[in-house]
Structure 1
Amino acid sequence: MGGVLATPANAAAARSPEGICGAGFGRVSDGTKAVSTPSGRRYGTVYLLYNRKTQQNCVVTIKSSFVGTKTQMSAELTVMPKAVKDTKQDPTVRRDSGSYKYYAGPVKYWAKQACVKFRGTIKPNGHDPAVARGGRQSWGNCGG
């Protein structure tokens, strides 16, 4: 009985944020951030991508440590429409969190004429008690 041993699609796609987000998505400037603990242990990377055709952003957090072991992770995208006169708007927050072997996300949301923040977290079981965090907490990539 011969055959090819299949690898999970999740594992193969985890090699590329573009592969996880899908066709047409590309990395944006200032959109690649380390996911590290306060003590400096790096457990992965969080990516922000954009698709010009669909005008969506995509965030994905990919592990570089504990790969293949389920750990608590998240990918988060916060979108704020550009200022509108006489209107105060709350940002839209989209998040994927859970116990994953390879990555959290993709988190996608329409972001034309909007500014975005993004972040990712990784919390390994039984290791460093601090949560590894990364991302950009200031508004950026404000589309036109």
Structure 2
Amino acid sequence: MSDQYGTYGDVVLYYDSGSAWNCAVLVKRSSFVFYGMATNMYITMNNSAYDDNHTKNNFDSDSGMYKYYAGPVRVYGKNMCIWIKGGIADISGPNADYWNYIVRDVTQVACG
């Protein structure tokens, strides 16, 4: 995730071909000024079946005040595309604004 202040973090995606599950985390980069300090972060992931079937296997999310990463989140992915969205707040502390995120949409990360 990048903005005018530099690079904040990365989405890391894992896939288990044996079980067909996708797993992802949003990790702060060590160069981010708030690395190691709690900031609001979130990550969501869904598969292409989510629009028709809103079950846990098709959608997962995690959010909160984290020092290093948000997640993991996981969805089933056999013969489906997945979407990931994440955000990292660029402010720390108890008054951090939940809406003050640097957001990145990653569309159709993996299709298979």
Specify the TM-score bucket, using the shorter chain as the normaliser.
0.7 to 0.9
TM-score, normalization by structure 2: 0.75
Counterpart of 1:121 in structure 2 is 87
Per the alignment, residue 22 of structure 1 pairs with none
Gaps of 5+ in 2: none
Greater Rg by CA: 1
Q: Cα deviation per residue 1:21-49 (whole Å; 9 max; x = unaligned)?
A: xxxxxxxxxxxxxx123x36311111222
Q: Is residue 95 from structure 1 mapped to residue 45 from structure 2 by the alignment?
A: no
Unaligned runs of 5+ in 1: 1-34, 82-87
Whichever residue aligns with residue 72 of structure 1, its letter is N
Which of the pair is proportionally richer in helix?
Answer: 1
Identity of aligned residues (%): 31
Taking structure 1 as the reference length, what is the TM-score of the superposition? 0.60
* Aligned positions, number: 100
Contact 1:60 1:120 in 2 (8 A): no
Seen in structure 2, the aligned counterparts of structure 1 residues 68 and 140 have a Cα distance that, compared at 3 Å, is closer
Task: From the superposition, tell whether residues 116 and 72 of structure 1 become closer, same or farther in structure 2 (CA, over 3 Å).
Answer: same
Deviation >3 Å, runs of 4+: none
Change (3 A) 1:36 1:141: same
- 1:50 lines up with 2:50 in the alignment: no
Deviation, 1:54, is: 1.7
Contact kept? 2:14, 2:23, Cα under 8 Å? yes
